[in-house]
Amino acid sequence: MTRAPCDVKIIVFNSHRCYVEFYDMEKRFNTLIIGSGIAGLSCALRLAQHGSVAIITKRQLGDTSTQFAQGGIAAVMDAHDSIGDHVHDTLAAGDGLCHEDIVQQVVTEGPEMIRQLISWGVTFTKNPTGSLSLTMEGGHGAKRILHAGDSTGKEIERALIAACRAHPSIQLFEYHSAIDLIPSRKCLPRTPVNRCLGAYVLSAETSEVDSFVADATVLATGGAGKVYLYTTNPDVATGDGIAMAYRAGASVANLEFVQFHPTCLYHPYAKSFLISEAVRGEGGHLKLISGERFMFNYDPRGELATRDIVARAIDAELKKTGQDHVLLDISHKPAAFIRERFPTIYQKCLEFGIDITTSPIPVVPAAHYFCGGVVTDAQARTDLPGLYACGEVACTGLHGANRLASNSLLEAVTFAARAAATIAEETESHCIAVPQWNAEGTRHSDEEVVIKQNWDEVRHTMWNYVGIVRSNKRLERAKKRIDLLREEIREYYWNFTITADLIELRNIALVADLVIQSALARKESRGLHYTIDYPEKDEALRKDTVFFNGRTKAK
């Protein structure tokens, strides 16, 4: 189908003038936000006063990792705590790779971010005196975790979704999957500056692909836990933002640092249910099946060690004992306290016949959080002009080699604010004719089983060979298999009509490949990356692992 131009305008890229045609059949906005977690929604609310905002999300607005965040959000809100202490704890968890300037800035802005969330309608749990209830989590030296019971993310999503639905400048597009970003060189091959113009988006309702064109595009797509067989993440966490940004020419970094949450409920019918870090923060004990506590054999902080240490300790004990799981026991605490503090966890475990007030919880580690992602600067800009990233999809320098518990929501809302401020101040309207999505030569597939088979193979390969403990041999084996799978997926992608499942499969395969390459490039053990071939840290490798168009580069 051809389109008639409705106007001809001039655009200038670094003093180079280009005549371009503007078509009236595209969806055009001042800002396009891909993702509807805390990062995407809070960014939209800040930008809505400056122009039109579109939020696209693959499922419903609430189907995000934010929705499942139990523990809380870290910020210095108590007179007995300090910014310096929070900075110290973050740097210690990051194992030498945090960017100290970013840590200082994010932690300092934390209290203001909390006040902003409250102004949007988020209700945090309070003490009987009316003060905010603060709790402890692993790696923190003070109580600084704000929470809404044990379903903090659900409360944040509720408030932000309500605020976005009520705002006239925000348009919401549920069940819309971004396929690829649109770089300007796709439209104007000789333009001296490549910039992001928006994204091609598949509508689940119409099965049509539309061009969502915007002056600024924000990736807030979350992480990639579904790259692994076992994960605490929801089904939408397929690394879409990382894959799209990399294909468009943006840099990605530190993808070898995948955080495995130590405590995921172990039950054949419990689909990736997380047992919050806060259970250990409130005094829960990790035990072997025999009832013996073991964490003090690995770290003087015991159960309050950072997640990388706790996950490796559990992994080691499972390998040593041959057991399928360990136990997390908080039954020594008063039953009323447990039911009040952890109502969601209590009810969910009860559904599976586990009364946590009287019995321990069977748990295992599971893939949880990507500390790496799309490289940004301090203002959430990527190195592809016009493209910004915030939340788990981004690599900002805050987390380093290991994220400190409950710093994720803090990072997301802080960098969303920075992205919004930068976009409002710097972005100018760009008017470039974007080519239509071309599906010519493709056909509907009658072999959807191929997608499921490849999906399962990617996730099994990553779990078996690129997990908590790694080796060169395992990584090289994984690389060979993922290379073959990516070639199969590439052939399938170009021959068959696009579907949401195919989009996700293509993305998890690329992210899997980038994780493996990153792990092979880091020939040391640091933070979340542990390899038996290089068990010690190497200070010469105290730098980010950055990939750009298939090449590594120092950062």
Q: Is 307 a catalytic residue?
A: yes
Cα-atom radius of gyration of the chain, to the nearest Å? 23
Distances (CA, A) of 355 to 12, 102, 265, 337, 360: 65, 42, 13, 14, 8
Residue 404 to residue 230: CA distance in whole angstroms: 21
331 Cβ partners below 8 Å, 6+ apart?
338, 356, 357, 358, 359, 360
Q: In 118-136, which positions are buried (b, 16+ CB within 10 angstroms) versus exposed (e)? A: eeeebebbeeeeeeebbbb
Output b/e per residue, 159-173; b: 16+ Cβ within 10 A.
Answer: bbbebbeeeebbebb
Asked whether the beta carbons of 514 and 547 are under 8 A apart, the reply is: yes
Integer Cα distance of 492 and 425 in angstroms? 43
What are the angstrom distances between the C-alpha of 546 and each of 233, 316, 485?
A: 25, 30, 23
Helix residue ranges, H only, 427-471: 449-465
Catalytic residue among 144, 280, 307, 459: 307
Give the Cα separation of 55 and 35 in Å (integer).
Answer: 7
Four-residue CA torsion sign, 54, 508, 394, 146: positive
How far, in Å, are 154, 263, 507, 550 from residue 173 at the CA level?
A: 20, 34, 21, 33
- The interaxial angle of helices 500-521 and 240-248, nearest 10 deg, is 80
Cα 130 to Cα 50: distance, rounded to the nearest angstrom: 36
Measured distance CA(179)–CA(209) in Å, rounded = 9
Q: Tell me which amino acid residue 226 is.
A: K
Query: Contact, 289 vs 276, CB < 8 A?
Result: no
Beta bridge partner(s), residue 8:
21
| Residues noted as catalytic | 307
